[in-house]
C-alpha cells in the first residue's frame, strides 16, 4: 500500500509550504515540496527535507512521563561547545518514569483543582508559542481550556508584536506585497530580512527579478548569505533603522521624489512628517547608522526613482528596544513614494491579517467570563523569569507549556531557569522531544507531529490556505494539542459544548467568519484543491482580530473598512488607499502614539543597550543573539542530520575587536554581561563589523555549562507591542583561560 498525502508545514516560518508525504504500509517514506503550490514550487528547506528523521527520531517523547529525578539539564556536562558528542541519548532521560494518559490527566486535574482552591485559577499560567502555527493545534482547544479554567492569560509577544504595532500604526493591518509579485520588482530591499535562512521560498522570485535586471539591496548588521549575494550590502549598526528611514525620507521629500498625488489622496500627516525629517539629514544620521551620508542619499534616490521598488522588511529590525518605531518609519516609505500602486511595489512584513478566521469562536474568549466574570490577568511571555520569581497575588503555582521551549528561547535564561527550578512549581510540558524545558517538567505529555494529525494552515509570507492531512497514525501514545486539551477539559469536568467539537467542525468554524476573502472557500474545496488563494474580491476582514490576550475593559476595536478595489490578477491592497487605520489613510502622523509617550510622527532614540547607550563603557560590544539558519528557533537543534549543517557554539567577532582582546580564530572566549556568561568558540570571519558580535540560538543543554545565548539577553520590552529585545544586548568578550 503506497499513497501520497498532502500536508502543510506548520513550523513558524513565513513560507507555510505545501508538503507531499509518501506513505508505504503506514510508514512515511518520503517528503517533498508540493510542486503545484505556487510558493513552495516543489522544494523544501534543508531542515524539513530531512523531516522523516525528526518524526522517527529515537529521541521522541512517545508516552506520558512523571518526574522521579531532580529538575536539572538532562545531559549536563556531557557535551562541549562545537566539539565532541552533541547528541542526546535515545529514549527518555533517567529522571522520568512512564505513566499512562489516565494517570497523567488525573494528576494534572487534581493539582490544578488544589491550586485553584488555594490560590485562585490565575495561579495557573499557560505558555505556548510557535511550535505549530497550524490553526487548530496552534490556538483553539487549548485557549478554550485555559479560558474556561480562568487561568492567567499569556501575552504572546516574543516574536513580532513590536513590528506588528509599528506597521499597524501606519497602514492599520498586517497585509503586504504578495511574494509572487517580487518577480516584477526592479529594486528589492531586504531590510533586516534573512531570506536564505528564514524565508527561502521568496528567493526564486527575487532571482527571477534579478535576471530581468532588478537590484537587490540588503540592510543588515550581519553579513548573511543573502547579503553576500546582494548587489549592494549596507551593514547597519543594530537598532538604528528608524534613523536610516527618516534620513531617506529627508532626501526623498526635500528632493521632491515623492508621489505628491498619492500622498495627497491617501496619507495623513505629510506636513508633520516633512517637518520631522528635517531633524534627520543623512550627515547626522550617518554617525548612528554607520552608513555614509552619500550612501544614504544614493539609497533614497534609487529607491524612490527605480520603479517598481519593494521592501521585504522582516522581524529582525523590531527585535530592538525601538523596534516599533523602526518598523513604523520603514512602513512610511512606500506610502510617500506611492509604490503601493504598482505590481511588484509596496512592502511585505506579514500577510497574516488577510485570513480573518473566526478566532473568537475557536478560542472561546467568552468562557473567561464564566470562570471569572472578568478577563483574567495578563502575563507577558517575554517576562517569564519575572513572572516565575517575582509575581504575586497570586504567584504562578502551575505552568503548562506546549508549542514552546521557553528554557531555550526566552530571554534572561538564568532567571527563567531559577523560576523553573522552584520546588513548589508544578510544570506540565506537552512536547515532541525532551527539550530544555522538559528538564524542569513534573509531567511530560507526548505530542504528535504534523504527519500525525489533521489541521488547517494559513501563512504569514503568502496568501494561501491549506488543509494539512494526517499522513500516519500517531507514534506511541502521542496526541495532538487539540486532543490533549479536550481530554483535560473532560477530566476537569468542563461540560461546555465547544469541548466536544470535532476537528472537521473546528475547521468549518474557523472558516465561517464572514471575511469576504474566505467566500467560496470551505473545507471540502480545500480538501480537494489542497491549497487555495484567498478570494480578494470583497472588502476583506473587518478586523484582523489578533490572537493575543484580552485587555480588561477593552475589546479589539472594530474598524470600518472602505470598499476594496477588485484585483483579480495581482493583489494590490493599498493601490487606492484603503488603509485599515481609523482614518482610512496611511497615518504618517498618528495621534494615538502620544498616549504611549511616543512621537506621533516618528523619531530615533538610540537603544540604551547599544554603542550609544550609557552601559557601552563597561560592555562595549553589541550582541546579535541570532537564530540559526538551519534550525527553527530551538527546534531541530537536537537532530544529528540537521546539526551537520550548522556549527553551534560560535561567537562571530570582527578581526579588529578580536585583535584588541588578543583573540584568534578558534580560541575559546568568555562572553558576558551583568545577566550571565557563556563560553563560545571565536570565529573571525567578517560576518560582523567592528563593535558587533553574534551568536546563535540552540538548545541550552547542548552547550558547555548547559546555557545558551539567552543567558545574555534581557527581559527589557520594546517601545511598542511589549515585545522582546533579542538584538539590543551589550556584552564584553575575553579570552577564556584554560582551567589546566
Ligand atoms: N532557518 C530558520 N528559519 C526561520 C527561523 C529560524 O530560527 N531558522 N525562525 C522563524 C521565525 S520564528 C521568524 S519570526 C522568522 C524571522 O525571520 P527574520 O525576520 O528574517 O528574522 P531574524 O533572523 O530575527 O532577523 C533577520 C535579520 O535581521 C538582522 N538584524 C538584526 N538586528 C537588526 C537591526 O537592528 N537592523 C536591521 N536592519 N537588521 C537587523 C539579523 O542580523 C538577521 O539577519 O523566521 C522564521 N524562519
Ligand atoms: N536569542 C534568541 N531567542 C529567540 C529568538 C532569537 O532570534 N534569538 N527568536 C524568538 C522568536 S522570533 C520566537 S518566534 C521564539 C520561538 O519560541 P518557540 O515557539 O518556543 O520555538 P521553538 O524553539 O521552535 O519551540 C517550539 C517547541 O514546540 C514543540 N512543538 C512543535 N509542534 C508541536 C505540537 O504540535 N504540539 C506541542 N505540544 N509541541 C509542539 C517543538 O518540539 C519545540 O520544542 O523564540 C524567540 N527566542
Ligand atoms: S520551515 Fe519554512 S521553508 Fe521549511 S518547509 Fe517549513 S514552511 Fe517551508
Ligand atoms: Mo518568530
pLDDT digits (tens, 9 = 90+) for 90-106: 788 999 999 999 999 99
Q: Which segment of 469-478, 566-575, 587-596, 710-719 scores lowest on mean pLDDT?
A: 566-575
pLDDT digits (tens, 9 = 90+) for 43-81: 999 999 999 999 999 999 999 999 999 999 986 444 444
Report how far residue 136's alpha carbon sits from residue 362's, in angstroms, rounded to the nearest whole number.
Answer: 8
Residue 499 is given by DSSP the state G
Q: Confirm or reject: Cβ of 607 under 6 Å from ligand 1.
A: no
**Per-residue confidence (pLDDT) for residue 294, from 0 to 100:** 98
- Give the pLDDT band of residue 479 (cuts 50, 70, 90): very high
pLDDT digits (tens, 9 = 90+) for 322-363: 999 999 999 999 999 999 999 999 999 999 999 999 999 999
- Give the pLDDT band of residue 688 (cuts 50, 70, 90): very high
Ligand 1 centroid–CA 405 distance in Å is 18
Residues 436, 700: contact at Cβ < 8 Å?
A: yes
Helix, strand, coil shares of the chain, percent, nearest 5, are 35, 20, 45
Ligand 2 centroid–CA 634 distance in Å is 6
Structural domains of the chain sorted by starting position, each given as residue range(s) with its CATH number in brackets: 2-67+97-158+357-511 (3.40.50.740), 162-349+575-596 (3.40.228.10), 621-735 (2.40.40.20)
Count other Cβ atoms within 10 Å, centred on residue 647.
15
The helix-helix angle for 270-277 and 323-337 (nearest 10°) equals: 120
Q: Which residues surround ligand 4, an ion (CB under 5 A)?
A: 159
Tell me how many degrees the CA angle 341-353-188 measures, rounded to the nearest 5: 45
**Residue 614, C-alpha cell as written in the block:** 550609557
Give per-residue burial for 677-698: e unless 16+ CB within 10 Å, then b: bbbbbbbbeebbbebbbbbbbb
State how beta strands 124-128 and 443-446 pair.
Answer: unpaired
Report how far residue 246's alpha carbon sits from residue 603's, in angstroms, rounded to the nearest whole number.
Answer: 8
Ligand 3 centroid–CA 20 distance in Å is 13
**Residue 580, C-alpha cell as written in the block:** 485599515
Q: What percent of the chain has pLDDT over 90?
A: 91
Q: Confirm or reject: Cβ of 7 under 6 Å from ligand 3.
A: no
Q: Confirm or reject: Cβ of 262 under 6 Å from ligand 1.
A: no
Task: Show the DSSP H helices in 654-712 as ranges.
Answer: 655-660
pLDDT digits (tens, 9 = 90+) for 642-651: 999 999 999 9
Residue of higher predicted confidence among 554 and 575: 575
> Which is it for the CA torsion 253, 256, 257, 261, positive or negative?
positive
Position 605 pLDDT exceeds 70: yes
Q: What is the largest CA-CA distance in the chain?
A: 73
Count other Cβ atoms within 10 Å, centred on residue 58.
10
pLDDT digits (tens, 9 = 90+) for 391-423: 999 999 999 999 999 999 999 999 999 999 999
CA-to-CA dists, residue 216 to 234, 294, 330, 581, 615, angstroms:
11, 18, 17, 31, 36
Of the listed ligands, the closest to the CA of 192 is 1
**Per-residue confidence (pLDDT) for residue 547, from 0 to 100:** 55
Q: Confirm or reject: Cβ of 699 under 6 Å from ligand 2.
A: no
Ligand 4 centroid–CA 629 distance in Å is 13
- Beta bridge pairs of residue 4: 22
Q: Write down the pTM of the prediction.
A: 0.96
pLDDT digits (tens, 9 = 90+) for 531-559: 999 999 766 775 544 456 655 443 333 33
Ligand 1 centroid–CA 526 distance in Å is 31
Nearest CA to ligand 1 atom 39: 192
Question: Mean of the per-residue pLDDT values for the chain?
Answer: 94
Q: Confirm or reject: Cβ of 11 under 6 Å from ligand 3.
A: yes
Q: Confirm or reject: Cβ of 15 under 6 Å from ligand 3.
A: yes
The helix-helix angle for 293-305 and 282-289 (nearest 10°) equals: 110
Nearest CA to ligand 1 atom 16: 315
Residues 667, 650: contact at Cβ < 8 Å?
A: no
Position 529 pLDDT exceeds 70: yes
**Per-residue confidence (pLDDT) for residue 544, from 0 to 100:** 47
Bond from prior residue into 223 cis (ω within 30 degrees of 0): no
pLDDT digits (tens, 9 = 90+) for 210-265: 999 999 999 999 999 999 999 999 999 999 999 999 999 999 999 999 999 999 99
Ligand 3 centroid–CA 35 distance in Å is 14
Nearest CA to ligand 3 atom 8: 17
Amino acid at each position: 500500500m503506497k499513497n501520497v498525502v498532502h500536508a502543510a508545514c506548520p513550523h513558524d516560518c513565513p513560507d507555510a509550504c505545501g508538503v507531499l508525504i509518501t506513505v508505504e504500509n503506514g510508514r512515511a517514506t518520503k517528503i517533498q515540496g508540493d510542486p503545484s503550490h505556487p510558493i513552495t514550487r516543489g522544494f523544501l528547506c534543508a531542515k524539513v527535507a530531512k523531516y522523516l528523521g525528526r518524526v522517527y527520531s529515537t529521541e521522541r517523547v512517545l508516552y506520558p512521563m512523571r518526574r522521579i529525578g531532580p529538575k536539572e539539564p538532562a545531559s549536563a556536562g556531557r557535551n562541549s561547545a562545537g566539539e565532541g558528542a552533541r547528541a542526546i541519548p535515545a529514549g527518555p532521560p533517567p529522571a522520568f518514569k512512564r505513566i499512562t494518559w489516565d494517570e497523567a490527566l488525573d494528576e494534572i486535574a487534581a493539582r490544578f483543582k488544589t491550586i485553584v482552591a488555594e490560590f485562585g485559577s490565575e495561579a495557573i499560567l499557560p505558555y505556548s508559542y510557535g511550535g505549530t502555527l497550524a490553526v487548530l493545534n496552534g490556538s483553539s482547544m487549548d485557549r478554550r481550556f485555559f479560558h474556561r479554567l480562568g487561568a492567567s492569560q499569556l501575552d504572546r509577544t516574543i516574536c513580532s508584536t513590536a513590528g506588528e504595532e509599528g506597521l499597524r500604526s501606519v497602514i492599520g493591518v498586517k497585509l503586504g506585497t504578495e511574494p509572487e509579485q517580487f518577480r516584477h520588482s526592479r529594486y528589492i530591499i531586504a531590510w533586516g530580512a534573512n531570506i536564505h535562512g528564514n524565508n527561502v521560498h521568496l528567493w526564486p522570485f527575487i532571482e527571477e527579478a534579478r535576471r530581468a535586471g532588478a537590484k537587490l539591496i540588503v540592510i543588515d548588521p550581519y553579513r548573511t548569505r543573502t547579503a553576500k549575494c546582494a548587489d549592494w550590502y549596507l551593514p547597519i549598526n543594530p537598532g538604528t533603522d528608524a534613523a536610516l528611514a527618516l534620513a531617506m525620507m529627508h532626501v526623498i521629500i526635500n528632493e521632491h521624489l515623492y508621489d505628491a498625488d498619492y500622498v495627497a489622496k491617501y496619507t495623513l500627516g505629510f506636513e508633520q512628517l516633512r517637518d520631522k525629517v528635517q531633524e534627520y539629514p543623512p550627515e547626522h544620521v550617518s554617525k548612528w547608522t554607520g552608513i555614509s551620508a552619500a550612501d544614504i542619499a544614493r539609497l533614497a534616490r534609487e529607491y524612490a526613482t527605480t520603479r517598481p521598488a519593494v521592501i521585504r522588511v522582516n522581524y529582525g529590525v523590531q527585535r530592538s528596544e525601538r523596534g516599533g518605531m523602526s518598523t513604523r518609519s520603514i512602513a512610511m516609505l512606500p506610502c510617500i513614494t506611492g509604490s503601493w500602486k504598482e505590481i511588484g511595489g509596496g512592502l511585505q512584513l506579514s500577510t497574516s491579517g488577510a485570513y480573518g478566521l473566526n478566532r473568537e469562536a475557536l478560542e472561546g474568549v467568552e468562557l473567561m467570563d464564566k470562570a471569572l466574570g472578568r478577563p483574567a490577568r495578563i502575563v507577558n511571555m517575554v517576562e517569564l523569569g519575572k513572572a516565575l520569581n517575582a509575581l504575586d497575588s497570586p504567584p504562578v503555582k502551575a505552568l503548562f507549556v506546549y508549542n514552546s521551549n521557553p528554557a531555550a528561547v526566552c530571554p534572561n535564561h538564568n532567571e527563567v531557569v531559577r523560576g523553573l527550578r522552584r520546588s513548589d512549581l508544578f510544570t506540565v510540558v506537552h512536547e515532541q522531544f525532551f527539550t530544555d524545558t522538559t528538564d524542569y517538567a513534573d509531567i511530560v505529555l507526548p505530542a504528535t507531529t504534523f504527519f500525525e494529525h489533521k489541521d488547517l494552515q494559513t501563512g504569514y509570507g503568502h496568501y494561501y490556505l491549506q488543509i494539512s492531512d494526517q499522513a500516519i497514525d500517531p507514534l506511541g501514545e502521542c496526541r495532538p494539542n487539540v486532543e490533549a486539551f479536550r481530554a483535560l477539559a473532560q477530566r476537569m469536568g468542563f461540560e461546555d459544548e465547544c469541548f466536544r467539537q470535532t476537528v472537521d467542525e473546528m475547521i468549518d468554524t474557523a472558516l465561517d467568519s464572514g471575511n469576504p476573502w474566505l467566500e467560496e472557500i470551505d473545507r471540502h474545496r480545500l480538501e480537494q484543491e489542497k491549497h487555495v488563494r484567498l478570494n480578494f474580491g470583497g472588502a476583506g476582514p473587518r478586523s484582523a482580530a489578533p490572537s493575543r490576550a484580552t485587555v480588561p475593559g477593552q475589546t479589539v476595536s472594530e474598524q470600518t473598512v472602505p470598499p476594496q478595489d477588485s484585483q483579480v490578477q495581482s493583489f494590490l491592497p493599498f493601490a487606492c488607499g484603503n488603509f485599515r487605520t481609523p482614518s482610512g489613510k496611511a497615518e504618517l502622523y498618528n495621534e494615538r502614539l502620544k498616549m504611549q509617550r511616543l512621537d506621533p510622527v516618528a523619531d530615533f532614540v538610540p537603544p540604551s543597550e547599544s554603542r550609544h547607550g550609557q552601559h557601552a563603557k563597561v560592555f562595549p560590544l553589541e550582541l546579535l543573539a541570532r537564530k540559526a539558519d538551519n534550525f527553527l528557533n530551538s527546534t531541530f537543534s537536537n537532530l544529528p542530520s540537521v546539526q551537520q549543517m550548522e556549527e553551534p557554539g560560535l561567537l562571530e567577532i570582527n578581526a579588529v575587536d578580536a585583535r584588541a582582546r588578543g583573540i584568534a580564530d578558534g580560541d575559546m572566549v568568555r562572553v558576558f554581561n551583568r545577566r550571565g556568561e557563556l563560553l563560545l568558540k571565536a570565529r573571525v570571519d567578517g560576518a560582523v563589523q567592528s563593535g558587533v558580535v553574534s551568536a546563535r540560538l540552540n538548545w541550552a543543554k547542548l552547550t558547555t555549562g548547559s546555557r545558551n545565548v539567552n543567558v545574555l539577553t534581557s527581559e527589557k520590552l520594546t517601545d511598542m507591542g511589549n515585545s522582546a529585545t533579542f538584538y539590543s544586548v551589550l556584552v564584553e568578550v575575553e579570552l577564556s583561560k584554560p582551567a589546566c
